[in-house]
Amino acid sequence: MRSINKLIHEYDVVVVGGGIAGLYTALTASEQCKVAVVSKVHVMRSHSVAAQGGIAASIGNEEEDHWEWHMYDTVKGSDYLADQDAVKILTKEAPNAVIALEHMGVPFTRNKQGKIEQRRFGGHTKKYGEGPVKRACYVSDRTGRAIMDTLYDCCQVKGIDFFNEVFVLKLLFSGAHCCGVAGYDIANLLPQIFHANSIVLATGGGGKIYKTTSNGFASTGDGFALALDSLIPLQDMEFVQFHPTGIYGLGILISEAARAEGGILRNGLGERFMERYAPTLKDLAPRDIVSRAILNEINEGKGVDGKDFVYLDLTQMGKEQLTLKLPEISSFVQTYLGIDPNETPIPVAPTCHYIMGGIPTDQDGHVLSNERGVILDGLFAVGECACVSVHGANRLGCNSLIDLIVFGRRTGISAADHTREKELPPLPQQAENIVRDTINNLIDSSGKESVSELRETMQQTMTNACSVFRNSDELEKAKEQICQLKKRYLDVCLRNKSKTFNYELLELLELINMLKVAEAIVFSAIQRKESRGAHYRSDFPERNDEQWLKHSLVYVTPEGFRINYRPADIAWFKPEKRRY
């Protein structure tokens, strides 16, 4: 456990973020060196625990499957923006990754042969799109939780040190070499400095930028902001996934597994509308397509009772299957809506779920400092905060968990290797003073703005202008509003001056991070004048491969954001029109 009094902690590898990506990277690196995980919540409260449906791998336990099919589906699902050499690695290494998890102890749900059971999932097909395939390995509907539990226990055995409830404020550099992070202990505001040869960012996503999200309260895009602050670009930030089936109003996720197990989306007229949008895969089309279809139905007045939701109908599944395959979801619906999904359809609407973009990395987790692919010495990124890119413009369900394991392993190896190859550079002088000054300045603030009000305005702005459907006018307005908010937070008032678990301060720091990320998303979305994957521009409704089959990299400069591009790797599958 952490030692509160020590100020500087020296390790070989320091991982920021303790979700599945962070823990898997830490475990892999710990085979070779001394590792610490720094997390702003207790690691077991990381949002990976909320992953429900499964982890994709073509192990073929239920029917014929091949990594090449998985690769094709992932590329097509990404609307051809994913880098195909990276997708090849993801899908080819996926079966071994799942088997490795099984050996570490993940209690996968089993089929009649005693093998890991697999089920269908959105966009995963056989024979290059012919029909759905059973590719998702799972632990009922608590796959993320089960993987986290297993990895956490493994980390204990390997002697990995956890620094829980430490918030990281800054990456530290020695010249061009990233060699540390500076943060503070949330329990007492004391600076905590971590000094290591390899720093890994595994900070997850930022769904809290939006009003309705499946993400937890801690998903505030901190890693994206740390990168921007260090003048590292963010790649493809315009691509934000809205999961089609969040519980109406709350945004809590109802896994795609619900549709894989037979659930059907119905509009206010009772129609199975997905038949019209995706004749082959129907309800199991990729998420960008289903989310747009739901909102189309709603915009045409075919929401339930003319309102802004549709129904997810699980009533044909039967009580036994519901209890067996979707126990958590059934209980969420019972708890928060007071309805029995066996008898009553569930009101759902799209909810912000996943950020496809992130800190650009190569296939071994090295952070890239520009569009030419120059590696930033000492810094690594993995998981949702990273962008390899295997998800391109739209991620398929179950591909995030496999991303965390495959690239967690690769990043762990390269972070450990890097540590051995280099002398530990000195820390910048007085790193702790940076932390003290930042905290004291904010604690002493006595303006007139409140953190919660600014946050709500940002969430409303992003939801209105930068969700499933976007257009130039709304985006420009949002950009202006975010700029206003960035000015307004300078005039914030922190009423809570306490040094013990000061959550008003934490929420202000998170808000500052979220505003930076929101601005990066809006800026990238304005630039991309086409529709691809999750980025749909009503004013440019077609995909435009000639001009836009490329990754955008957004940089912070003294004059504001700047954008550059690098080509996407399309070596294997040539872009085609996406039909499902």
Partner 1 sequence: MKISLKIYRFNPETDIKPHYDTFFIEANPMDRILDCLNRIRSEVDSSLSYRMSCGHGICGSDGITINGIPALACQKLVKDYDYSRELLIEPLKYFPIIKDLNVNLESFFQKIKNATPNIIREKVFGSIENERLQSIKERSKIDDAIKCILCGCCVAACPVILEQEPRFVGPAAILRAQKYIFDSRLNDSNERMKILERSFGIWGCKSYYMCTIVCPKKIKVTEAILKTKKKIIQEFHPKSG
Query: Which residues are part of the catalytic machinery?
Result: 287
145 part of the interface to partner 1, by CB under 8 A = yes
98 vs 404, which CB is nearer to partner 1? 98
335 binds partner 1 (CB under 8 A): yes
Contacts of 292 (CB under 8 A, 6+ apart): 277, 468, 469, 536
Write out 286-304 in H/E/C secondary structure.
CHHHHHHHHHHHHHCCCCH
**Segment contacting partner 1 by CB under 8 A, of 138-146, 423-431, 511-519, 572-580:** 138-146
Cα angle 179-190-494, degrees, rounded to a multiple of 5: 110
Among 272, 316, 318, 336, binds partner 1 (CB under 8 A): 336
Q: Tell me how far, at minimum, the Cβ of 273 lies from partner 1, in Å.
A: 27
Which residue type does 12 have? D
Residue 487 CB, nearest distance to partner 1 (Å)?
A: 21
The reply on whether position 49 binds partner 1 by CB under 8 A is: yes
In 193-306, which ranges are continuous DSSP H helix? 222-229, 257-260, 274-277, 287-299
When the beta carbons of 453 and 480 are compared against partner 1, the nearer one is 453
16: CB partners within 8 A, 6+ apart: 22, 37, 38, 39, 168, 181, 199, 200, 201, 202, 203, 223, 226
Which C-beta is closer to partner 1: that of 47 or that of 120?
47
* 211 alpha-carbon distance from chain centroid: 16
| Residue of the chain from 299, 498, 544, 547 that contacts partner 1 (CB under 8 A) | 498
Contact flag: residue 104 with partner 1 (CB under 8 A): yes
> Which range in 39-47, 297-305, 386-394, 397-405 contacts partner 1 by CB under 8 A?
39-47
158 binds partner 1, rule: CB under 8 A:
yes
> Rule CB under 8 A: is residue 113 a binding residue for partner 1?
yes
Among 112, 372, 487, 577, binds partner 1 (CB under 8 A): 112
Cα(67)–Cα(79) distance, rounded to whole angstroms? 18
Our finding on whether 495 is near partner 1 (CB under 8 A) is: yes
Beta bridge pairs of residue 173? 178
CA atoms within 13 A on the CB side of 283: 22
Residue 315, interface with partner 1 (CB under 8 A)? no
Q: For partner 1, which residue of 15, 94, 146, 349 counts as binding (CB under 8 A)?
A: 146
What DSSP element (H or E) covers 185?
strand 177-185
Give the nearer residue to partner 1 in terms of CB position, either 278 or 515.
515
Q: Note whether 216 binds partner 1 by CB under 8 A.
A: yes
* DSSP assigned state of 4: S
> Within a 13 Å sphere around the CA of 385, how many CA atoms are in the beta-carbon half?
34
Locate all alpha helices (DSSP H) within 370-500, ordered by sequence: 399-421, 431-443, 451-465, 472-488
Decide if residue 115 touches partner 1 (CB under 8 A).
yes
User: What token pair was written down for 296?
Assistant: 């189309």
At closest approach, how far in Å is the CB of 547 from partner 1?
40
Cβ atoms of residues 362 and 39 within 8 Å: no
Nearest distance from residue 31's CB to partner 1, in Å?
Answer: 7
Cα–Cα distance measured from residue 244 to residue 255, given in angstroms and rounded to the nearest whole number? 9
487 near partner 1, judged by CB under 8 A: no
d(CA 391, CA 327): 29
Q: Is 218 in the site for partner 1 (CB under 8 A)?
A: yes
* Complex with partner 1: residue 48 or 84, whichever CB lies closer: 48
User: Which of 123, 204 has the CB closer to partner 1?
Assistant: 204
41 scored as a contact of partner 1 (CB under 8 A): yes
Say how many C-beta atoms besides its own lie within 10 A of residue 157's C-beta: 9
**Residue 358 Cβ vs partner 1, minimum distance, rounded to whole Å:** 21
Site membership for partner 1, residue 47 (CB under 8 A): yes
Q: Interface with partner 1 includes 452 (CB under 8 A)?
A: yes
Closest CA to 119 of 291, 316, 305, 259: 259
Q: Measuring CA to CA, how many Å separate 576 from each of 75, 80, 84, 392, 573?
A: 11, 8, 14, 15, 9
Q: How is residue 25 written in tokens?
A: 């990277």
Give DSSP secondary structure letters for 516-532: HHHHHHHHHHHH--S-B
473: tokens are 């006018």
Kindly state the number of chain residues that form the binding site for partner 1, as judged by CB under 8 A. 66
Give the H or E element holding residue 102.
helix 84-104
Q: Does 45 bind partner 1 (CB under 8 A)?
A: yes
One of 159, 306, 338, 558 touching partner 1 (CB under 8 A): 338
Consecutive H or E run containing 77: helix 67-77
User: Is the Cβ of residue 154 or residue 563 nearer to partner 1 in the bound state?
Assistant: 154
Q: Looking at residues 259 to 298 of the shown chain, list those that interact with partner 1 (rule: CB under 8 A).
A: none
The answer to whether residue 541 forms part of the interface with partner 1 (CB under 8 A) is no
Q: Which stretch binds partner 1 (CB under 8 A): 107-115, 118-126, 278-286, 550-558?
A: 107-115
Instruction: Say how many CA atoms lie within 13 Å of 30 toward its Cβ.
Output: 21
Joined tokens for residue 373: 């692919």
Q: Does 379 bind partner 1 (CB under 8 A)?
A: no
* Total Cβ atoms within 10 A of residue 94: 28
Could you tell me the smallest distance in angstroms from the CB atom of residue 278 to partner 1?
29
- Of 8, 187, 434, 563, the residue at the interface with partner 1 (CB under 8 A) is 187
User: Of the listed pieces 195-203, 374-382, 440-448, 496-504, which binds partner 1 according to CB under 8 A?
Assistant: 496-504
Say whether residue 31 binds partner 1 (CB under 8 A).
yes
DSSP state for residue 394 in the 8-state scheme:
S
Please select the residue that binds partner 1; options are 10, 68, 102, 449, rule is CB under 8 A: 102
Among 321, 472, 496, 527, binds partner 1 (CB under 8 A): 496
Provide the binding-site residues for partner 1, judged by CB under 8 A.
1, 27-28, 31, 41-42, 44-47, 49-50, 59, 96, 98-100, 102-105, 107-116, 139, 142, 145-146, 149, 153-154, 156-158, 187, 216-218, 250, 252, 328, 331-332, 335-336, 338, 450-452, 494-496, 498-504
